[in-house]
Structure formats: structure tokens, C-alpha cells
Amino acid sequence: MGPFMGLQEGDILQTKFSCKEDQVAFLNSHKDYGFKDKSSMIREALNLLRKERELEKLRQSADLYTESYDEDFELKELTATAVHGWPK
């Protein structure tokens, strides 16, 4: 039985982590930024970081596809043939 058995989506878990002094000072000003507590501020920061990382992965993937397309003459020809005759 794993440590998360019986938990439902949205359940809040507790964890412990370390921060630098300036980070603690920033967390202590959570109300100035509209957060009810430090935990809600941390959760929002983690959600933003997750979204940022996912977006970066998508950008890297798109760059790889663009690079592959730019180097593949046959694929460019196939694409040009496929779109020929489509309404503009």
C-alpha cells in the first residue's frame, strides 16, 4: 500500500522544505500579494513553474519539428502537393 492510497484528487498534503532568508521574507508578505497564507502562495508558484516547464517542452518539441521539416526536402514536396488545390 503506497503513501498516497486513499487520497482523492485535490486533497492537500503537507511537506517540509528549506528556504533562504530572502525567500522566507517574501513568503511572509503573502497577504501583500493577495494570498491567504504561505501555502497558497507556494501552491500557486508551483503551478506556474509546472506550466512554464510544460510550455518550454512544447517549444523545444516545436523547434525540433521545425528543424526536421526545414531539412527534409521530400517532406516539403509532400506538403506542397497536399495543399495544392486547397482554397486559400
Q: Is 64 within a domain? A: yes
pTM of the model: 0.69
Identify the pLDDT of residue 2: 61
Per-residue pLDDT of the chain (88 residues; tens, 9 = 90+): 566 778 888 888 999 999 999 999 999 999 999 999 999 999 999 999 999 999 999 999 999 988 888 888 888 888 888 777 777 7
* Residue 83 to residue 10: CA distance in whole angstroms: 46
Domain span at 60: 53-83
CA-based end-to-end distance of the chain: 59
Sign (positive/negative) of CA torsion 73, 79, 83, 88? negative
Q: Is 16 within a domain? A: no
Structural domain tally of the chain?
1
